[in-house]
Structures are given as structure tokens and as C-alpha cells.
Structure 1
């Protein structure tokens, strides 16, 4: 242990809401402010002690100017708290933690709040400002189709093609989706997510309000037969509404500090952040970029890329952890199977949801929880981001 270690002293996330579900009336900064305040309150650190805040937002900057600054101004943090909005698509929340980690390692800060938020329910349609002709129809774009100029196909389509090319077909993806739902259901019944999740008050009819306490997306009654009946989306080959997450709303933030700050202030270090890596590859390589990022961390640590006690790989699609674990195993199906037994052990985004900017932070806190429950160990969390990006973060619990 070192006084300069970067440790996590609190985690907090909202329940993850369905598209146009319970959280639909709260915009991204409002959700972010709730998670920021919950994280600070759980840490026991005074808001005035926070040196900076980094927040990830994955979809068109939450349709507003500098949304993370707006979240800071809506939170208990002083208005003098510097902040930055991070956009690396689904990697954004983990990238935000990585930036805080680096600030503390470099001596630029002692306490940083990091995470992200998303309100896909409030993502607007895009109406073009310029038109070729003054008369005629207007083509309105929906960013929630999740495609871009660099690749003509929606991400769900090329993900299916990439997974087949790498030896992971539709049946395997459906089976993983079912396992994700079942693992989540067992963890939820055991109170596993109480460590990270807090209740959110939302507006009700006629001036009333109600509390949202649980994630909305899980489908514990899912069966392989039901999954097999679903057609692939956008005319693709493998990705369906059943083996991919829905569109979701939510926020997740962690409080990081130096170990000597935690000790001096009587704070419990929940975990130590060991290392962080960013990678990029071909625009359609997202199913394997988590493996690339994990392998980079393992190489830096001088360890076997398969040697982690617990692994979290964000289920952007069920294909993602399947392809990435197979890549980490060097194509060996038996080794990949052993890796998968300790990957997303408490369910993943297929079950609980994927608010783009929040998911990178969510999988880090879920990893910390798992390591603490097993009595310690080392783990890694990894996530892909749009058009070939990837992040990974290694964590140790003593």
C-alpha cells in the first residue's frame, strides 16, 4: 500500500429506467446531480473538498450545452468546482474515472468525483438547419438508431456480422442473454445491488410523487424459446431486442481520493484503482475492443490476460462479452468457457440496462462489490464504445 494510491471511497447509481419509463421526466443533468449528491453523501467527504468532477455522456451531449457543468450546478457541489463533459460514446463513464485517476496520480487533485449519466428518453429528433431546397419534404434523423457517417450500417447490424465472423452465433448470444437475466435475478433477490443503487423520487400524477427503487428492464421470465422467436433488428443477422439492452435512463458516480486523504479523514477505502487503458481499433471492432484493453492492462501488470478473479464486460450486446472472452482465450473454447463463468457474474446490461454515459461507471462499481463480497482479489472492467473504441480498468480489493 502507498499513500499515493488512488482509492474509491463511495459509489452511487440511480435505478436504471426503461425508455420512456419511470425516469423519463428527469433530464440527464438532473439524474447526474442526484447520483453526484448520493455519492458525496455516502463518502462522508465535504462537497467543498472535491477538486474536480468528470462526467460521461454518450448521446449528443444530452441535447444541451455542457451538460456536466449543469449537473454540477444542480448538485451540492460549490459552483467553483471544475468539471468536464466526456464523450467517448459508451466508454464515457469509464473514461471519466480514468481522467480522475490520472489527476490524482499526477498530484493535480486529492478528491475527484467521476461517472456519467444518460437520458435516452429525452433525446430529441434532429431537424436539419440547412436544406437543399426551400420547398419539399424534410428528412428528420433519430440519433437513437445509433449509426454514423463512418459506417453506413447501424451498430447492431455490424455487431452481428462481426460476432459471426469471430465464431459466436445467434444461439450463443441468446443463451448468454438468458444467463444474464438469470444471474441478475439471483443477485437482485440477494440484495446485491443495494451496495450501489439508491432510490429516486420522480413526479407522479396531479402533483404527487413516487419512489423508484429498482431497475426497470430485467425480464426474469425470459426463456430461450421466447428469445429464439425474436427477429434480428434492422435486418441484421443475430442481434435482437432480447439479446441486447434496451434504451435506458440513469446515472452513476464514484468518489475517488488519495489513500492518505482517506486515512486522514477516517474514510473506508472500498477498492484501489490499479490501472486504466484506452484503445481503439477498426470502426466495426467493438465486440473485441474490451479484450484488447484488458490484454493491455494485463501486459502492463505482467500477468496472464485470463488471470482475473472477476471480470465485468459491458453487454452492449450479448455478443460483446462472448467475443471478448474468446479473444482473451486465444480462440480456445474451453478457456473461454472458464472465463465466462467469472464474467458478469451478477448479470449485465442485457438485463439491467445500458444508459450509455453511465454504464462504464456502473460496471466498475459492480466489480468492486463483487470483489468485496468474495473477500478481496483483483478484477477488471471493460467496455466498448462506438466505432471501435474500448476502455478497461483494473481494480484490487485487499
Structure 2
């Protein structure tokens, strides 16, 4: 019986991190586990049906030997499923696919989870003689990564073999540099057009720190390829590529980098050695990098059984050896072999993914195989994207699947040279899964209305992520001032070592400022960040609506005003959305997306895609309501803090100190002074108008506003910053105006603050404003809710919902309607129901 074809039903990858970049702290096994989890999630299969796990990896960490097994178990694959790690240098990720295909053809399996992973940033230095003691003389600490890149049979580093190939085939330095620049241009285009977004699974890196019982920390999201130059058309960068020194013909390139000082002619002389010839540079070679990828392969029969549409069919493969000194030639010999097995010719292949280990070898392989430019690495190659060695084969296969689906072509060929003198190749055929229509609007040019702190912050963020942005101000002087503010912030980031100077210069080139509204008529997205006044915002958008092209999306950065009301000033309410950035936008990871009843799904999808995939933000979706979600949840917490000052003898210092012990980044009164008490009082009033008596603002906030104490911006609020003003201490005001305050334990007082937030969260769930997951995510990323507590709803569940309800009822009796419990909370307690699904213990038999 002829076996059915093996299909690939899904494939994902992490974004690729630069060497020492965003993924440097993420172990390779965990990167692979994240990809495994995402593939299982997207396909919806029970991991218990997987027959085997196979993954490629080269620099296997000592704490996760057989990394395929470690990653599979981390991803929730049951322990009875075997796993094996394969190591075939650059081809390892593709080798995992080949091994799965061969096992299927042999009748050993039907469903295989495969992948590859590498974190080159985490490869350690080695002290090889340390185990049994080092006596006398110097000993060398070996760079494990450098050693791994050297072929031990010929003692040549990979870059030297590329020089050998360039010399043999007369590949000029200019050809190599031009090829490298073209790779960056193609990759930049693909990234800008969102070609990679459906392939990439975000990596969340959470860092916490304990000081005594106090746990603090935060999370970062890694979701964008890091090695691609954001502006490959920048002639300064191009010239820098052309002028980089060659290094691999230096005979001393692998010697220890520690030149011994020599005293000569009264001077201390430090001498280092570089080659003065050669053509292979860091600019026309692939960068060392970090990343992982995973794919799910199965028989056609199983795909039908699970109702999964094939993305691709595995058609044929080949591997072949070649001279180690010219290892870059490997594809020249592997490609004819695989084409012969498949009964195809070069002309039959629609798309080629030729790994760009070095421009020299990629050019030779393209020329010798006769691959047309328009078919080669059309979304860029490893010179731009990076080459996380053990993962690259899998990454290229995923990229090829998506290119076939995008272009509706038939065949793709994935090939690469392999360290040690080999070539590997794989041919896939497009599956039956049709390309999903992408209704998401591409957003490439943005206008920010208003050049204040928030507007400049959003412009800074957008420009650093490679998008063109125009700041619109009312007069030219204000426009010039806002542009200077953005440039100053970029310069400061360079001075602090937070940003490379070339990236800063690229960002500066992407930002302009104007007072002429006609200069923003062609933008894709308008983000308004003017004064928080409804009539002002409506006037601004009415004018924009007359000028900006009709298919552009309008977004307001309001933190609490009605989206529907503001949108009513335009003729495009279906293309109007709230995009609430948090201050400062460059560092705060959250964007709250607020839809009105008129906001279209396409507009929400486009705004979400832009915030998440272009700006690297965490997004939450919120149904419009007074104060939206995050401010609505924050206000009961802050409001109760102010009530504590007028109802109890607790002080601002005591409450702030206890909040910090609870792992909040700052106390409620420091936060109120920072935000502005006048703004907080206005949001509190919006909540009162929207939610009635239970949201009645604490009188102290309005009183401080009456006294001109707005917080940090006025020099005094709950705290007095400007001591020269001779202002009355807050304690004196409280003693005079609220003389009947009662003693209260600070823990009890803080518990009241937390209960207010939790009860409001349940009320939001009652009204379908957002989901439990997004409530907690929003609080973690938007207001600094302690990471260790995982969000207000997780905290409430750990405290016990029955206990929370009991405390709310007690405080309702003591303090009034603001503690009236949510009906949903009462129902959860009555039905003994959990907010979040509890993890069930895996009771499957272990094989």
C-alpha cells in the first residue's frame, strides 16, 4: 500500500534576537517550549496524540541536555511521548523535518512535533583544565561559541571558508556588500508589510527581584526581528557596510585577544593584528543570533481526521558532503540531487530559500544553480534576519510555507551550506490551505496631533520602530519645539547607552513636525494627543476629517472621554478608535484599545496589529464605558486611599510605604502627585457621572485642587516638593478640616483599597467590558500592579472569593455603598466557581 503524503499543518517561530539582544536571557529550551505550545494551541490537538518530538540544536546547554525532551515537557507534551535532539550544524532545524519524514515513511509514526532552537548569546566560556586542578602557568578560558564556529578537521573558522569560496569563484567585495544591502532591503519590506507577523509568537520575559519580603519587577515582550536594519536606504549605513574591515584571513584570528603590553621608546605599546586583505566582513555575513521555531507534521489521513488544512507537503530532501575548506558550496551539489529525486528542474521551483551564511557563498550558489533574483529570498535572508544555527532550517521552512501561501505558488526549495563541508536541501509543495484574506489595513505613515509630553512620547516610540511620523502642532514655533524634544530624547538615549547612534539617526530621519495640516493628508493613522477636553478634541477631529484621506484611521489617546462623542465630529465613526497609551509610551508596555458601538472589526484589527506587531506593545480590547478599563479599575484604589486620609488617622507616608512593601512600584499618593491631582479628580468625576453614588469621589482630591495643589507640576499635592512656597502641611489641613478621624491599622486600610479595585473588576466582567485575562494583563502592564500577584483577579482568587465577598459586605456596613459587592462575585461564591481554570494534574499513565 502506497503511503499518503506527509503534511505540515502549522509552523511558528520566535522573532530573531540579535547577539546579546532582546533574547539573551531566554534559554534555548524555553524558546522552543514557547513555539511548541503555540503550535499545539493553534492546531488544537491533544499533545497526547503526538508520536514523537524531534528538534535541532547545536550549542546544547549543559542544564538541558536532549533539549527536545526538555522543551517538550515544558510545553505540556505528556511524558510518554519520546523526544530526540539532532545536531547537523546549520541544517539541524531542517534535519528534524527530514527525520520526521523518514520515520513516517518507515511506518514508525504519524504525528511528529519538530523544531529547532539556539541561543548563541548564552553559549558560555569554558575553563577546560579546571576539573582536575590547574597548577602553574597560564591557562586559557575558551570561548565556546568561537570554538563551535571553527571546523576542527581543518582548523578554520567558518568565515575563513567563506574567504576560500570568494577567492575560488572570484566574488568581489562589492558584490558581497551589494548582496548584503539587498538582503536588508527585502527583509525591511517584508517586516514593514507585516509578512512575518503570522509566523511569530511573542516571547514574554518576566524579571522579578526580592528585597526581603518585597518582590518587584516587570515584563518585556519580544515580538519583532531585531537584526534587520530599520533604514537600509540610509546611505551612511550603506557606506559603513562598504568600509567594514575584513578579518578572516588574519592567521591570528583565533588566538587569545589579550595583547601583552610592551614598553618601547618610553611608551606603553599594545599591538593587535588584523588582516589587510580579504572580502568577508561582519556586514556581508550573517549575524550571530537567538531564536526558535516549531512545526507540526502528520499524515494526510490524520490531518483530515483532525480537520486541519495542510500548509505544505514534504516532497523531497537531500544531503551531501563536500570539501570542508569550501563548505559554502554545499547547496551546489545538494540541489541537483533533490531535484532529481523529485523529478523537477530549477525552473519548476517557484521560490528559493537559500540560507545566507555569507554573501560570498550565497552568490556562488545562486550563480551556479541559475536561480533568478526574483525567486531568491524574496523576504530577505539570514544576513538581515539572523542565523540562530539550530533553528534556521525550521525557520526557513516556515518562511517558505508562508511565501507560497501568500503568492499562491506551488514549490519552494530550502537549502543551506553546512559547517564541516555538507549541503542540505528540502522541497515543499503548497498545501490546500487557502491564503486568508488580510483585511488588516497596513499602517506605515502616522500623524500625531499635539506635541506635548504624550504626543512627543508617541512620536518617539513610532520612529524608533521604523515608521514615518509627522507631529502636527498649531503654530510653527510649537512644531519646532516638539521636534527638538524628540531629538533631545533620542540623543539622551544614546548618551545613556540605551540606543545605538545609527538607530537614533534613523529615527530622527523618520520624524517631522509641521503646523500645516495639508502635510498629513496622506497618512494611514492619526493619533490625537491634545488637551483632555471633549470640545477641543471634537474640534480637532472635525478639521482633520475634512483634510485627511477618507480611508485613514482616526485614534484618540484620551484616557477617559467618550469615544462615541469624539467620533461624532467626523464622518467616519466606523474608522474611529481609542488608543490609550500609558505614560511614558516608550517604556510602558500597554495600549488600551477602546471600541465604540460603531468601530468596525477591521479598524480594531488594524489598530491592534499596529500596536502589537509594529510597536511591540501588549494590547487589551475594551468595550467603551466611562473611564474605560484601566482608569476605571485604578480609581477605586486611589479614591479609597484619599478616603483613608479623611476617615482615619493613617498618613500618606504610612500608606505609600505599605504599598511599596506590597510590591507596588510607587505608593498611591506618589502616583497621584505624578499623574496630577486635578486630572485624577476629573476622572473620578467621570466615574461618578457614569456609575453613580458608589463611585463618589473622595472630597480631599477636589479640596486640594481648590487649594492649587495639583501635584508634582505645581510643586505640591499630597507631598510638598517645592519647600520655598511655605505651604501648609497636609497633616494640618486634615487636622483642621477632618477632626473626627478614627485609628486604623495600615494593613486593614490597604486591604480596603485592594477590595475596591477587585470589586470594580467584577463589575467590569458583569458588563462584558473585557475578559478576566485582559483585566489582569491591563493592570500588570498599565498601572504596575505587582507582578508577583498576577493581577487583581488572580489575587482575589488566591485570597478566596468567599473571603473577598465577606470583607466587602463588612465594609459596606461600615463605609457605605462604595463597597456594595458585585452580583457576579456573589454568584461565583454561591456556585463555588473559579474565575480562572485551575490546572488539572496530568493523570495519564507514564510510559
- How would you bin the TM-score normalised by the shorter chain? over 0.9
The corresponding residue for 1:385 is 418
The corresponding residue for 1:354 is 387
Q: Give how far 1:371 is off.
A: 0.8
Q: Give how far 1:214 is off.
A: 0.2
Equivalent pair of 2:328/2:418 in contact (CA under 8 Å): no
Q: Give how far 1:252 is off.
A: 0.5
The corresponding residue for 1:162 is 165
The corresponding residue for 2:142 is 141
Report the more deviating stretch, 233-242 or 23-32.
233-242
Q: Tell whether 2:318 aligns with 1:282.
A: no
Q: Secondary structure at the match of 2:94?
A: helix
The corresponding residue for 1:332 is none
Q: Secondary structure at the match of 1:114?
A: strand
Q: Give how far 1:134 is off.
A: 2.2
Deviations 1:229-287 (A, max 9, x none): 10113436222111112211110011000011101111010111101111111112322
Equivalent pair of 1:44/1:267 in contact (CA under 8 Å): no
Report the more deviating stretch, 208-217 or 286-295.
286-295
User: How many residues are treated as equivalent by the alignment?
Assistant: 388
Q: Give how far 1:204 is off.
A: 4.4
Q: Give how far 1:290 is off.
A: 1.8
Q: Give how far 1:133 is off.
A: 6.9
Match of 1:245 among 278, 286, 298: 286
Name the CA distance, whole Å, in 1 between partners of 2:172 and 2:133: 43
Equivalent pair of 2:179/2:359 in contact (CA under 8 Å): yes
Q: Alpha carbons of 1:3 and 1:83: their partners in 2 closer, same or farther (altered >3 Å)? A: same
Name the CA distance, whole Å, in 2 between partners of 1:250 and 1:269: 25
Q: Secondary structure at the match of 1:284?
A: helix
Q: Give how far 1:220 is off.
A: 3.1
Match of 1:217 among 213, 217, 227: 227
Q: Considering only aligned residues, what root-mean-square deviation do their CA atoms show, in Å?
A: 1.8
Q: Give how far 1:215 is off.
A: 0.8
The corresponding residue for 2:396 is 363
Q: Alpha carbons of 1:133 and 1:265: their partners in 2 closer, same or farther (altered >3 Å)? A: closer
Name the CA distance, whole Å, in 2 between partners of 1:132 and 1:317: 40
Match of 2:338 among 287, 293, 297: 297
The corresponding residue for 1:71 is 71
Deviations 1:165-191 (A, max 9, x none): 123221111111111100011111111
Name the CA distance, whole Å, in 2 between partners of 1:63 and 1:219: 33
Match of 1:272 among 313, 334, 355: 313
Name the CA distance, whole Å, in 2 between partners of 1:385 and 1:26: 26
Equivalent pair of 2:315/2:342 in contact (CA under 8 Å): no
Equivalent pair of 1:32/1:117 in contact (CA under 8 Å): yes
Q: Give how far 1:307 is off.
A: 3.1
The corresponding residue for 2:406 is 373
Equivalent pair of 1:19/1:249 in contact (CA under 8 Å): yes
Name the CA distance, whole Å, in 1 between partners of 2:395 and 2:361: 17
The corresponding residue for 1:201 is 204
Name the CA distance, whole Å, in 2 between partners of 1:30 and 1:373: 30
Q: Alpha carbons of 1:62 and 1:386: their partners in 2 closer, same or farther (altered >3 Å)? A: farther
Q: Give how far 1:91 is off.
A: 0.9
Equivalent pair of 2:346/2:369 in contact (CA under 8 Å): yes
TM, length-normalised to structure 2: 0.45
Q: Give how far 1:217 is off.
A: 0.8
Name the CA distance, whole Å, in 1 between partners of 2:319 and 2:164: 24
Equivalent pair of 2:165/2:329 in contact (CA under 8 Å): no
Structure 1 or 2, whichever has the larger Rg, is 2
Q: Pairwise mapping of residues 67-146 of structure 1 onto structure 2 (< 5 A)?
A: 67-129=67-129, 134-145=135-146, 146=149
Name the CA distance, whole Å, in 1 between partners of 2:56 and 2:345: 30
Where do 5+ consecutive residues of structure 1 fail to align? 330-335
Q: Give how far 1:321 is off.
A: 2.0
Equivalent pair of 1:276/1:393 in contact (CA under 8 Å): yes
Equivalent pair of 1:181/1:218 in contact (CA under 8 Å): yes
Q: Give how far 1:160 is off.
A: 1.6
The corresponding residue for 1:333 is none
Equivalent pair of 1:312/1:343 in contact (CA under 8 Å): yes
Deviations 1:18-77 (A, max 9, x none): 112111111111111111111121222211111101111122x23442222211221111
Report the more deviating stretch, 315-324 or 271-280.
315-324
Q: Secondary structure at the match of 1:195?
A: coil
Q: Give how far 1:319 is off.
A: 2.1
Name the CA distance, whole Å, in 1 between partners of 2:20 and 2:336: 38
Equivalent pair of 1:368/1:397 in contact (CA under 8 Å): yes
Deviations 1:303-360 (A, max 9, x none): 223431100011111223211112213xxxxxx5xx2321100001111111111000
Name the CA distance, whole Å, in 1 between partners of 2:290 and 2:227: 10
Q: Give how far 1:112 is off.
A: 0.4
Name the CA distance, whole Å, in 1 between partners of 2:165 and 2:334: 18
The corresponding residue for 2:439 is none
Deviations 1:109-139 (A, max 9, x none): 1110111000111101121137897211111
Q: Tell whether 2:240 aligns with 1:226.
A: yes
Q: Tell whether 2:187 aligns with 1:188.
A: no
Name the CA distance, whole Å, in 2 between partners of 1:290 and 1:58: 20
Report the more deviating stretch, 280-289 or 298-307.
298-307
Q: Alpha carbons of 1:63 and 1:218: their partners in 2 closer, same or farther (altered >3 Å)? A: farther
Name the CA distance, whole Å, in 1 between partners of 2:419 and 2:75: 29
Name the CA distance, whole Å, in 2 between partners of 1:3 and 1:38: 29
Name the CA distance, whole Å, in 2 between partners of 1:25 and 1:179: 31
Match of 1:340 among 373, 376, 382: 373
Report the more deviating stretch, 132-141 or 250-259.
132-141
Name the CA distance, whole Å, in 2 between partners of 1:322 and 1:306: 18
Name the CA distance, whole Å, in 1 between partners of 2:11 and 2:50: 15
The corresponding residue for 1:25 is 25
Name the CA distance, whole Å, in 2 between partners of 1:221 and 1:248: 20
Equivalent pair of 2:29/2:71 in contact (CA under 8 Å): yes
